[in-house]
Amino acid sequence: MSRYLRPAARLAATARASAVRPAATSPFISRAAAVPSLQKRTYADASGVKEYTVRDALNEALAEELESNPKVFIMGEEVAQYNGAYKVTKGLLDRFGDKRVIDTPITEMGFAGLAVGAALSGLHPVCEFMTFNFAMQAIDHVVNSAAKTLYMSGGIQPCNITFRGPNGFAAGVAAQHSQDYSAWYGSVPGLKVVAPWSAEDAKGLLKAAIRDPNPVVVLENELLYGQSFPMSEAAQKDDFVLPFGKAKIERAGKDLTMVSLSRCVGQSLVAAENLKKKYGVEVEVINLRSIKPLDVETIVKSVKKTHRLISVESGFPAFGVGAEILALTMEYAFDYLDAPAQRITGADVPTPYAQKLEEMSFPTEEVIEKFAAKLLRL
Amino acid sequence: MFSRAVRISRVAPIRAAQRAQTASVAARRTVTTNAASAQVDKSSIPQSDEEPFQIRLSDESFETYELDPPPYTLDVTKKELKQMYYDMVVVRQMEMAADRLYKEKKIRGFCHLSTGQEAVAVGVEHAIEKSDDVITSYRCHGFAYMRGGTVRSIIGELLGRREGIAYGKGGSMHMFTKGFYGGNGIVGAQVPVGAGLAFAQKYTGGKKATVILYGDGASNQGQVFEAFNMAKLWKLPALFGCENNKYGMGTSAARSSALTDYYKRGQYIPGLKVNGMDVLAVKAAVQYGKQWTTEDNGPLVLEYVTYRYGGHSMSDPGTTYRTREEIQRMRSTHDPIAGLKQHILDWGVAQEDELKAIDKEARNHVNEEVAAAEAMAPPEPTPKILFEDIYVRGSEPQFIRGRTTDEVFYFH
């Protein structure tokens, strides 16, 4: 074996006290139950905190931005009369009319291009993809028409557009509807890319995306839409925006840095809580929020404190968000690491349909917990 | 199975009938590419440069699809005819300068010239207002000039200069100016984007239209049809226009398109085929199209029948897929500049020496501008310039990465 592979091999060979734990019956159910309770604790004594689903938070963000700026409009498949394929745009047609809330034909490349044209002309379109899996048909316009035009024009032609929709896998939708495009969009200069997890993330990041003068890709997650999170009083106001390029430390810790995004943040928090219960270790969980620009500073600061890093994401392993985080950690925090940084990703497989096979294809709380324990030699 | 079917004798008469019908239709519907086919009653031509008079376009200037033809008469002034002539000569001279600079290895990468197609860019601009929008393909130098870009900024861009129209960041295919949205390097991508410009015009109100151009090659891209569909559905003021120069790179229209009547490609959108070698016919068609579409009649699909003298790009000699005779015939008998020149002389709009003076003025202008462009400095190879304008100023991330961790550029 090449010596370059030795550190990882050493990790793999590490024996670990493996207390047998009953596997969660479904990773989705256990996560759904655990996350809000964690969050409630965070806001326990705050006043005016309300429970919001991610769906409601997105809806509120859209409604507020449509209200405040006549240049903003939303277009996409089933956004108007149907009230949104996932009900994110519910009620917007009734409130803002068919000039501002526009049903498109099923023609991703066409309407993405059209939305870009409207943005070049000075409007601020929100282009909804029913899922980002379908946006692959339109990715040329996201990358070539939207992201590059400002630079190619020497700065004279901005493109204020927001592409949004659910990204990554849902439950039982098989290979063509389960891909995570974070790494794809995250690699394109000229784009800003965000991936909200909580309701506050969803509202603050979507509003910031619509207001940002650059093309922004908002990668939502279908499994999070129905999940409730507490929303602080400040976040309920219509001037609430979150800055891009700033990660949020969802849980402070001193023993391991866990960098995650989107739905995996909730899973990481559950795993962190279990690790504390079982082993008394404190895991720091970082919610990236923003994929491009990426908050390297927060990651490095955390590694300096914990000396260990694990990234958790649901994309394919090769050339992914995890790969980028590990590379950056190696570049900027190598001397602070006590163990090789590790990544937990989706499996390198077209997502299967059968439930147990699907579970094997994506990070679960149990996998995160076990692998973190192994890294910590617990 | 098919072969058995056609062997049945009773099929034969039907096929024969079809063939006969097709032939007659084709004969009836050929648009001329004669660049000097318009007529005028010479006695109606006024002395003054500013006073309008009426010309009559050839009956073979247009073919229509589900549309009443535009008027075959067009009001022009002497001044405008001379301006059109000047514009076409400038575009031609500019493209020839680009050709020379490319051969001198001063222009890098791709360079697509529109020599032979000048009547389209010039005719379009003379038919619309500055407040209308234009978007086209990578063959964009002429349009960039007509929309208000200066020759020096266009040539400067080709030379990769800091004062180029896109500050040296875009090159030949990516030129933008007010009301002009490129210049798109992806074949056909400008068509839905153009529909979006029209969408914005409708959204904000006002009698404005968008002229969208694409080639006969691009016309087979799926997104062109996606744009047609939405434009018709939402009655967008979009004038789609196929610049049919007969070849998509080296593939002739007949080898790429199941239906080479590009003006009928909109199916449910009315179409108008235009003699794209005649700047007057182009102007008449686009003027009519703009009026039609801004009256909330929805989009139109135009076809400008034109011809490119050069290859697809500078790296293509343009002779492997067509004969030299064909090029020579178009150049010598259908040239848009020679055609308008003939009209100007025949109609007494200007005398030979006045035209020569215009020629000289155009040539001198281009030469001076090219010299100015060559004297421009290239962008300084500094991180500040490399990383500027990736994001709108003031909204950049804190830093952007260069090639190594040593080359991180901080904005703030």
Report the CATH number that the domain containing residue A260 is assigned in CATH.
Answer: 3.40.50.920
Interchain proximity A154–B397, CB inside 8 Å: no
For residue B52, is pLDDT > 90?
yes
| C-alpha neighbours within 13 Å on the C-beta side of residue A218 | 32
Crossing angle for the helix pair A365-375 and A27-42, nearest 10 degrees? 70
Q: A202, A236, A270 — which closes off a domain? A: A236
Question: Which chain A residue lies closest to B385 (C-alpha atoms)?
Answer: A154
- Which of A60, A64, A108, A324 is catalytic? The answer is A108
Residue at A121 is within a domain: yes
For residue A324, the one-letter residue type is E
pLDDT digits over B20-38, tens only? 444 444 334 479 999 999 9
Is residue B314 domain-shared with residue B338, that is, in the same domain?
yes
pLDDT score recorded for residue B331 = 95
User: Does residue A225 sit within a domain?
Assistant: yes
Q: Do residues B262 and B171 share a domain?
A: yes
Asked if residue A282 and residue A229 are part of one domain, the reply reads no
Kindly report which listed range (A20-29, A168-177, B213-222, B388-397) carries the lowest average pLDDT score. A20-29
Of B193, B203, B233, the CB nearest to A145: B193
What is the reported pLDDT for B152? 97
* B36 in any annotated domain: no
pLDDT score of B15:
47
Contacting A residues, span 57-76, partner chain B, CB-CB under 8 Å = 73
* A215 & A309 share domain: no
| Boundary (domain end) residue, out of A236, A263, A288 | A236
Tell me, yes or no, whether A195 and A57 share the same domain.
Answer: yes
Other C-beta atoms within 10 Å of B183: how many?
A: 30
For residue B79, give the amino acid letter: K
Helices (H), B214-278: 222-233, 253-256
Instruction: Give the mean model confidence (pLDDT) for residues B61-68.
Output: 96
Question: What pLDDT was estimated at residue A209?
Answer: 98
Tell whether the model's pLDDT for residue A190 goes beyond 90. Answer: yes
Is there a domain that residue B285 lies in? Answer: yes
Q: A202 lies in a domain?
A: yes
pLDDT at B19 over 90: no
The verdict on residue A143 lying in a domain is yes
Which of chain B's residues have a Cβ under 8 Å away from the Cβ of A292? 397
Are B195 and A110 in contact (CB < 8 Å)? yes
Q: Are residues A195 and A221 in the same domain?
A: yes
Q: Are both A189 and A309 inside the same structural domain?
A: no
Residues B153 and B185 in one domain: yes
Closest Cβ–Cβ partner in B223, B229, B389 for A151 = B389
Using the beta-carbon criterion (under 8 Å), do B170 and A189 form an inter-chain contact?
no
Task: Look at residue B158 and tell me if it is in a domain.
Answer: yes
Q: How many domains does chain B fold into?
A: 2
- Residue A137: list chain B partners with CB under 8 A: none
Residues B362, B393, single domain; the answer is: no
Contact status of A213 with chain B (Cβ, < 8 Å): yes
CA B56, CA B36: separation in Å to the nearest integer?
Answer: 11
pLDDT band at A47 (very low <50, low <70, confident <90, very high): confident
Task: Assess contact for A343 and A311: CB atoms under 8 A.
Answer: yes
Average pLDDT, chain A: 90
What is the pLDDT, as a whole number, of residue A328?
A: 97
A113-166 pLDDT, tens digit per residue, is 999 999 999 999 999 999 999 999 999 999 999 999 999 999 999 999 999 999
- pLDDT of residue B242 exceeding 70, the answer is yes
- Both B406 and B358 in one domain: the answer is no
The answer to whether residues A208 and A264 belong to one domain is no
Provide the H-helix boundaries in B257-335. Answer: 279-292, 324-333
- Kindly report the CATH number assigned to the domain that includes residue B67: 3.40.50.970
Instruction: Give a yes or no: residue B325 inside a domain.
Output: yes
Residue A213: list chain B partners with CB under 8 A. 392, 395
Chain A environment of B191 (Cβ under 8 Å): 113
The Cα of B350 is separated from the nearest Cα of chain A by a number of Å equal to: 40
- Chain A residue with minimum CA distance to B171: A152
pLDDT of residue B412: 76
- Predicted confidence at residue B206, as pLDDT, reads 87
Q: Which of A111, A155, A212 sits opposite B389 (nearest CB)?
A: A155
The angle that helices B118-127 and B279-292 make with each other, rounded to 10 degrees, is 40
* pLDDT given for residue B6 in this prediction: 43
Interchain CB distance below 8 Å, B223 and A109: yes
Do residues B134 and B268 share a domain?
Answer: yes
Q: In a mutagenesis test of the A interface, which of B234, B391, B408 is the best target, namely the one with the most A β-carbons within 10 Å?
A: B391
Q: Using CB atoms, which residue from A110, A122, A212 is nearest to B395?
A: A212
Instruction: Choose one of A178, A212, A236: the last residue of a domain.
Output: A236
Q: B158 to chain A: which residues are within 8 Å by CB?
A: none
Q: What is the ipTM metric for this complex?
A: 0.92
pLDDT band at residue A252 under the 50/70/90 scheme: very high
The helix-helix angle for A108-120 and B222-233 (nearest 10°) equals 70
**What confidence score (pLDDT) does residue A46 get?**
53
Residues B121 and B200 in one domain: yes
Say if residue A70's pLDDT is above 60.
yes
For residue B392, the SS3 value is coil
Q: Are A230 and A253 in a shared domain?
A: no
User: Is A108 designated active site?
Assistant: yes
Q: Is B385 helix (H, G, I), strand (E, B) or coil?
A: helix
**Residue A124: closest C-alpha in chain B:** B200
8 Å CB contact of A140 and B186:
yes
Q: Which of A253, A179, A174, A164 is nearest to A216 (CA)?
A: A164
Alpha-carbon distance B394 to nearest alpha carbon in chain A (angstroms): 10
Within this chain, do residues A339 and A270 fall inside the same structural domain, yes or no?
yes
Residue with tokens 């990070």: A363
Asked if residue A98 is part of any domain, the answer here is: yes
CB atoms inside a 10 Å sphere around CB A32: 16
Pair (B182, B308) in one structural domain = yes
- A344 and A273, same structural domain? yes
Same domain, B393 and B321: no
Please report the number of interchain residue pairs, chain A to chain B, with beta-carbon separation below 8 angstroms. Answer: 153
Q: Does A91 touch chain B (CB under 8 A)?
A: no
**pLDDT at residue B202 above 60?**
yes
Cβ contact, residue pair B200, A121, below 8 Å: yes
Residue A227: CATH number of its domain: 3.40.50.970
Q: B110 and B62 in one domain? A: yes
Domain around A286: 248-376
The DSSP code sequence of A130-197 is S-TTGGGGGHHIIIIIIITHHHHTTTS-----EEEEE-S--SS-TGGG----HHHHHT-TT-EEE---
Residues A329-352 have a mean pLDDT of 97
In this structure, the answer to whether residues A266 and A299 fall within a common structural domain is yes
Residue with tokens 């190879």: B381
**Residue A1 falls within a domain, yes or no?**
no
Residues B74 and B152 in one domain: yes
Q: A228-245: per-residue pLDDT in tens?
A: 999 999 999 999 999 999
Cβ contact, residue pair A117, B192, below 8 Å: yes
C-alpha–C-alpha distance, residues B34 and B58, integer Å: 9
| Total number of domains constituting chain A | 2
Interface of A with B in 112-151 (CB under 8 A): 112-123, 140-141, 144-145, 149-151
A177 classed as catalytic: yes
Q: Given the residues A77, A128, A177, A366, select the one marked as catalytic.
A: A177
Determine the structural domain holding residue B175 and report its residue range: 42-375
Q: Residue A8 pLDDT > 60, yes or no?
A: no
Please report whether residue B37 resides in a domain.
no
pLDDT tens-digit map of B70-87: 999 999 999 999 999 999
In whole angstroms, give the CA distance from residue B302 to residue B273: 6
Q: Check whether residue B312 and residue B388 sit in a common domain.
A: no
CA distance A116 to A138: 11
Q: Are residues A210 and A254 in the same domain?
A: no
pLDDT value, residue B11? 44
For residues A86 and A203, membership in a common domain is answered with yes
- CB-based contact A113 B192, cutoff 8 Å: yes
